[in-house]
Amino acid sequence: MARLRSISLWALVFSVAAVAAGQGVETPTPMEMVRDSNEAITAILNEYDPLGSEGEELVYEVMDGVTDFQTMSAAAINEVCVDREIPADKCGEWKTVFGDLLRIRSIKGVGRYRADRFDYLNEEIDGERAVVNTLAYYEDEEITIDYELESSDTWRIVNYVIDDIDTVRSYHRRFKRLLDGQSVDDVIQRLRDRIEEFRAE
């Protein structure tokens, strides 16, 4: 029975990942993409408690299919690179490392901040951009989570606004402050150190 549950879970995960990659019969709407990925991750968390390496692998499959971590990274960093006249190769390195940190941080965080349920409130589509408004319930708390998505062939999440705190803008402001007292190499090394800390957990 346990093996059948695991097989069903893998099937759910890969179906979400395949649709996110544009391999489905019909491209899902932004709200469908967000809902399906949240349901897949909830199923993983219910099956693997604690999450463990196998559960993390499944979460990576879902998150990588629906989230563009490198686009999020670029949105937080590009303007800083221009303002501080950071060379293109160094800026590229910074964006790659920060994208990797966003990815591992998201995966490590899902088990700690799991919602009891979601309400999917609204979907606004404007060309190749969209916003999906949700409410997440954590015990006695209600938290608003707005998912910002972009599309080329399929919709992918490029930002989260959680209780009116914009993830990309928050990191943008933080990086500007850090560079007031540190070099870009120092900042990149801090990000690398944080990645290693997450990997060691």
Evaluated on CA atoms 74, 77, 80, 82, the torsion sign reads negative
Instruction: State the burial class of residue 166 (Cβ atoms within 10 Å of its Cβ: 0-12, 13-18, 19+).
Output: middle
What was the pLDDT predicted at 5?
A: 39
**Residue 176 Cα distances to 75, 83, 172, angstroms:** 13, 9, 6
Name which residue leads in pLDDT, 14 or 110: 110
Q: What is the mean pLDDT of residues 114-138?
A: 94
Read off the pLDDT of each residue in 105-129 and give the average, rounded to a whole number: 87
pLDDT at 9 over 80: no
For residue 115, pLDDT over 80 is answered with yes
Q: Is the pLDDT of residue 159 over 80?
A: yes
Q: Which domains does the chain have, with CATH numbers?
A: 2-200 (3.10.450.710)
Residues in the chain: 201
Q: Helix, strand, or coil here: 78?
A: helix
| Extended beta strands in the chain, E state | 117-126, 129-138, 141-151, 155-162, 165-166
Residue 111: pLDDT band (50, 70, 90) is low
Residue 191's pLDDT is what?
Answer: 98
pLDDT digits (tens, 9 = 90+) for 43-102: 998 888 888 889 899 999 999 999 999 999 999 999 999 999 999 999 999 999 999 999
Percent of the chain with pLDDT over 70: 86
Region 131-157 average pLDDT: 93
Report the range of poorest mean pLDDT among 2-6, 24-28, 151-155.
2-6
The pLDDT value recorded for residue 1 is 36
Sequence-separated contacts (24+) of 46-52 with Cβ below 8 Å = 47/5, 47/6, 47/9, 49/111, 50/111, 51/110, 51/111
Exposure string (b/e) for 24-42, b if CB count within 10 Å is 16 or more? eeeebebbbbbbbbbebbb
* Beta strands across the sheet bearing 165-166: 117-126, 129-138, 141-151, 155-162, 165-166
| 24 pLDDT above the threshold of 70 | no
